[in-house]
Amino acid sequence: MNSGNESSKDWMADYIKKFLKEPPLLLKNFHYEDVLEFLQLGIEEKFQADDIILNESEYVNSAYLVAEGKVAIWKDNIQLATLSEGNFLGEAFLFSKNSRMAKVTAEGECILLRYERYEALNFFRKKPEKLFNIFTKNIIEIQQRKISNMNIQLLNLKKRLLNDSNW
């Protein structure tokens, strides 16, 4: 956490301005006030280079928004992806009670906002059902993008293997 209360408020004001202009995909098509209120639910967490943010097999009860910096997604010591500002980790946290599927580490200094399942569910309980439907649609879009990216990676890997005469 920031040492001074004022600096934390100043940072949050800059952060809110940034994401109100261009909301993260998970909050796409939310009304301005709903974006602001949801962003304020997040609990600021700071990480240094190579810090472990999430461990594989942890119980899923929260999601993270990358506010500043970048994070790396790892599975079996292979880096699968890098996520930057505006990306969510564990966006299906309201629906899934499974374990995390990968490890996430900080790539340099970064700031994430943590969203707890209970707090997020309470947020949506106070809102019109339409907002939760928009949120669900956004999760589906994020998941489709991830699948598309994985398909591209798989295709590129297959092409490399087929072109390798030693294989």
Write out pLDDT tens, residues 35-91: 999 999 999 999 999 999 988 877 788 899 999 999 999 999 999 899 999 999 888
Q: How many CB atoms lie within 10 A of CB 65?
A: 24
pLDDT of residue 51: 96
In the chain, the domains with their CATH numbers are 5-163 (2.60.120.10)
Write down the pTM of the prediction: 0.82
Beta strands in the chain (DSSP E): 43-47, 52-54, 62-75, 78-83, 88-89, 103-116
Of the pLDDT bands very low, low, confident and very high (cuts 50, 70, 90), residue 4 is very low
Q: Is the dihedral of CA 81, 85, 56, 132 positive or negative?
A: negative
